[in-house]
Amino acid sequence: MLDLTTIQIADYLCRNNIDFTERNNELITWCVFNDCDKSKKSIKDGHLYFSASNGQYHCKKCGEKGNIITLAKFLGDNNIMNNLTTTSINKSDNIKALIKKCNFNIPLEIKKYLKDRMLDDTTINDYMLGYGEFYGKKWITIPIKDEEGKYVYLKLRRDPNDKDSTGMPKYIFYPKDQNAVLFNYDNIIKSLDREQIFICEGEFDCILLNSKRIPAVTSTTGVSGFKEEWIDNIKEYSKIYICFDNDSAGKKGAEDLIKRIEKKIIKTENAIYQINLPETGNIKDVTDYFVNNIGSADEFISELPVYVCGRKPININQFEELIQQR
Ligand SMILES: [Zn+2]
């Protein structure tokens, strides 16, 4: 256990992977509290100053002030927080700090991995994706909000560069044993547009679709975890699209979900479509479709959906006939 009364601030920053530069008995780094150093140019231009001798800090942009204990609290440092018996920190502040810390510590090779999946820096920050150590392993962190937009837990994706993954699943929750959440639903209900909603299979696909202005949600437990109450919610949308993975689990999952939705929809108001990803070129999921440049977002919406049930689509051919008759 760390002793905050004796640990040097330089030491503490190193332990938390916070880079800094030293000048005149001061440590300078990028502000961790606010977006003061968003562009992250040279660390020498950082706004957060620590006194090397007593660990007190001051951000010269946002004005945040404190000491090593308030910093540890902010970073969600469990080693230290367990020692802080006098101060109670509520759970949601705790998880927010952890999410910020992970987002701040995301290494370049993980950014590259995400960029290869078409998730750029803006998208990474919009969704506060990050990186950190949990259960003795390194993971990409995906913050999960509940339907009201409150952070409830992290979904962890195994570090794709960590080849030694024995005994660990590809995805896991932190803390463990969490309920399924309809990921991104809190975001899309902010829009008044109830025209269409896409249900996809996984957070990265979901984030990618939304970055392309395609309103998508996903269950944090994959194809099989779609709750009955969510079906009631998505009935608000006139077109419901299912776009699960192009494999047997995805196809089976889509079939089951469509059956369940069909029972609940209003046949004159809701139409259900299934997105059929191209069978050629090893296109396994939504991300593959866009990464391999198979089509644009418009083409994704206009060319891939196949009508399944509910309100029938308007037959475009009928319009053409009308025009010809004139
Ligand atoms: Zn600041």
Whole-number Å distance, alpha carbon 19 to ligand 1 midpoint, is 15
Convert the pLDDT of each residue in 210-251 to its tens digit.
Answer: 999 999 999 999 888 899 999 999 999 999 999 999 999 999
> Which pLDDT value is given to residue 273?
97
Distance from the alpha carbon of residue 62 to the mean position of ligand 1, in angstroms: 4
Distance between Cα 49 and ligand 1 center (Å): 10
| DSSP assignment of 105-134 | T--HHHHHHHHHTT--HHHHHHTT-EEEEE
Q: Are the C-beta atoms of residues 109 and 78 closer than 8 Å to each other?
A: no
Q: What is the pLDDT of residue 16?
A: 83
Distance 74 CA to ligand 1 centre (A): 13
| Separation CA 113–CA 320 (nearest Å) | 47
CB 229 within 8 A of CB 179: no
273 backbone dihedrals φ, ψ, rounded to 5°: -125, 150
Residue with tokens 């990409």: 140
> What is the reported pTM?
0.70
| Tokens describing residue 250 | 């995805």
What's the pLDDT tens digit per position in 53-100? Answer: 888 999 999 999 998 888 988 888 766 555 443 333 456 668 888 999
CA 15 to chain centre: 26
Q: How many CA atoms lie within 13 A of 220 on its CB side?
A: 25
> What is the CA(293)–ligand 1 centre distance, in A?
40
- The alpha carbon dihedral of 80, 83, 85, 86 has a sign of negative
The pLDDT assigned to 191 comes to 85
Reduce the DSSP state of residue 19 to 3 states and report it. Answer: coil
CA of 36 to the centre of ligand 1 (A): 5
pLDDT of residue 296: 95
- The alpha carbon of 143 and the centre of ligand 1 are apart by a number of angstroms equal to 22
The pLDDT, as a whole number, for residue 3 is 60
Q: How far is the CA of 34 from the centre of ligand 1 (A)?
A: 5
Note if the bond before 313 is cis, omega within 30 degrees. Answer: no
**Residues in the chain, overall count:** 326
Query: Which phi and psi angles does 147 have, rounded to 5°?
Result: -65, -20
How far away, in angstroms, is 310 Cα from ligand 1 center?
A: 52
The DSSP call for residue 314 is P
Residues in the chain predicted with pLDDT less than 70, given as ranges, are: 1-6, 78-93, 165-166, 315-326
